[in-house]
A and B are shown apart, each in its own frame.
Chain A
Amino acid sequence: MTALIAVLLLLAAGVWFGATVDAVAEAAVAGRPVRTALAAPFRRTALMLSRQAIETEHPDTLNHLLAPACYLVLAAAGLSVVPFAPGVAVTDIATGLVLWGACEALVVVVVFLNGWSANAPLPLIGGYRYVAIGLPAMLISMFVLIGTALPAQSLGVSAVVESQRVLINAVRQPLGLPLFLLLGLSITLRGPFNYGDSADLVGGTQAEVAGVQRLLWRGAKLAMLTAFSAMAATVFLGGYLGPVLPGPAWLVLKTALVMLMLVAITHLVARVPPARMLTWLWTVLLPLSFVDLVWAGLEAMR
């Protein structure tokens, strides 16, 4: 029960924190006043709530409503495997990494459905394009996650945390965290991996939604950003482990750190065209994840 409340609190706090940091970073890079950016998330939320939600020409209504809802549920389900303290997790199962992997995979389906359901050309292109990049990005993340399971000798997330008592995985497997962050950008549709909601498609899968629907999709993306950051903090930065402060405080701090990294990359790094990224994913990044796995294996046997 405490764990469930903690998950919901962390999600809510993460959505607020992510929106604020995003607005501040955007204002800083754009050269606009940063102070007003602090209140921007609330104002934008109020604005989206007071406007009309548009229906497209004969949308696939069921999927149109389900896509943002499922995205949100996947974020919550993914976060549920993260332990806040030893033994305190909503789903403290021995196959936590597999459950997280399933959530990742379903994000591809949800984003595609969001693009498909509008029955409009630009969201449709966004949906199909996202699948091309989302699939191989997911493979890479699973290889690096398996790498963290090797020293833990378990697929349970708690065991992965405990295996980092001496040295955190970010140091022990230096390729792991950078590769995993790529997946974070991909499943939250951000910056250099934003192939679903891209600007060249004026918003891609969300190009046709307005008002409260746009708010839901944006909220779901930020919830997924929170869930991903908490997972990255747990698997690579030692999660609740740390001196002096209580465990949950360390988890929150580390989660915030990962979020900051992702937001900075979002606004500072250019995105390449999809065909080029697809080639890089398969011929450079996937082999790198093999190297990470071998590295993790040799290190675990030491």
Chain B
Amino acid sequence: MKKLLFLTILLLITPFLFISCSKSKKVLYIYNWSEYIAPELMSKFEKDYNCKIVMDYFDSNEAMYAKLKVGSPGYDLIVPSSYMASIMNKKEMIINLDKSKIPNIKFIESKYSEKTEDPKMQYSVPYAVSFTGLGYNKKKTPAVKPTWSIFGDKQYYHQISMFNDMRESIGAALKYLGYSLNTTDDKQLAEAKQLMIKWKKNLAAYQNEEAKTSLADGILLVIQIYNGNMIQMQSDTPEMGFLIPEEGTSIGVEVLVIPSDSENRELAYNFINFMYEPENCAKNMEYIAYLCPNTKALELMDKDLLGKIIISDELFKKSEVIKDIGGENTKYVRMWDEIKAH
């Protein structure tokens, strides 16, 4: 009788024996996009600061926000896009940064921050700058035209994809029509909706980053994608090409923020400062293939790669950063659902 009782109790507590393992070192919990940091820098930081980095990945800002919104998962550092950082700031989910703890911030060029909601870098510092464009296979489709209207081009019928991200996809249509991609004007949005519906008939699917494997596999011919994704791929499949439509595009500014419930703020500050160390920053850029607006680090960069991760001034002027539009966001959600159900 007692043996049986003991056995039952043992069985019920086994999981907890497994789960409660001791922690001796400090742990820095980072919530990041995948392949968005050079692994060698992580191990270097772990060694220098005698700590352990635990990294989790998200694949959209909204998924990350939803997770944080409903609870406190306990991260120390997050890498959201600038518009999401602004929402998190409004909701007091992140702290105002104490710049004295990040001396290396002096290397940061403010050109990109100035296009975001946080021009003075009060609660966020730019980590990586991306540009949305078109990825294609130079061998199969050498003559891809640099325009967003390519989504309606019958030549790529059912072999072309757009992002499964309402702001980016609708943004492409808005840019093509010559409007701001942060517009909330009903007429402009209605026009964009019609265009999206027209394009949709020609599209294979709405896909995010997974489109790049479909492109490499030959399933798709042209995809909407970030520049860094394509540059990363070029290292082992050189026939991959990337270009930015001449109508202008969306600039993504991913920033570093510290959540207010972080239990390891000091370590998080150390990490931010560490990442802006010009040498580390250059190494990281070479790995992630996105621009970090760190003037000192850019001097250390391989010129060939540098040419790929920045864009011309002319295009920069035409391009915008996706901003938070508050309650007007529901217009986009509604429109996106209507496009998809059409």
B and A form one assembly: no
Which residues of A approach B to under 8 Å, CB–CB? none
